[in-house]
Amino acid sequence: MTESQWIRFQKVRHDYKTYIDELSSALPDLSAVLSQLVAARSGPAYPIETPVVYNHALDDIGPDKQIKIILVADNPGRREQSAAERRYLVGPSGKLADGFFRQYPELGIDFRKHVLILNKSPIHTPRTGELRDLARLGGPNIEQAIKESQYAMARFIHQFHEIFADEAKLWIIGYSELGKGKLFEPFTNALLNAYSVNNTGASPAGAARQIEKPSLLKNSIYLYRHFSMNQFSADFKKQRQAGESAEETLHRIGIQYRAKIFGW
């Protein structure tokens, strides 16, 4: 990356890390509520070690790194929140993502070198849909924190994307919960607001306004299915057309789902 990119990257990374620390401090009861959630579910129990997860893989990015994709997943799962990891997409979904890029080397993407990974929310739950259960168990304070964390992540994603706009595409993985009335509707509204040409730096309360003129950065935003349960690869193979390169298929699928969810 250029010197200017490196300076800007360090600033946004620092702000992101500071935000995670502040959010963690503001939710002293989150660990206990998550333990209650884990104990009540049918899956195996495990210790809650990092209720709000900063992706420490960002600390491995130096000025010599080239960012080709900014990939946005959902929220940290069991392995991501463990003290031994504290990184995003290190579980089964991450392995599937890594495997996909290894299968198509012509894309020129090393998943662990060229991809900057963020989430729609940094707040951990065993499964993404259980953010709803966490909000119910935790009460208004945690419910509001989950919503506001989506506003914050949309802002950070936009800032990182601006830094690497000339070379990096923004991939949003998992679109089924982005629509109206869905789990990540706050994230969607905030993201649309961030990418509008006439963005005035509105507070989260203003994030839901309709966006008529998204910025030019919108053209490098792509939506896809989840990597989990091999959904991404299965959809890619199903939709790939004869004679089409892997890059062409990804481009077509990504803008197809973007139009479906975002309308452009």
Q: What is the pLDDT of residue 216?
A: 76
Partners of 169 in beta bridges: 69
How is 60-105 classified by DSSP, letter by letter? G--TT----EEEEES---TTTTSTTT--SS-SHHHHHHHHHHHH-G
Residue that has been written with the tokens 């507070």 in this structure: 203
Nearest to 51 by CA among 110, 112, 134: 134
pLDDT tens-digit map of 137-179: 999 999 999 999 999 999 999 999 999 999 999 999 999 999 9
Are the C-beta atoms of 148 and 204 separated by less than 8 Å? yes
Q: Quick one: 4 exposed, middle or buried, by C-beta within 10 A (0-12, 13-18, 19+)?
A: exposed
Whether the per-residue pLDDT at 210 is higher than 60: the answer is: no
What's the predicted TM-score (pTM) here?
A: 0.91
Are the C-beta atoms of 58 and 147 separated by less than 8 Å? no
At position 216, the amino acid (one-letter code) is L
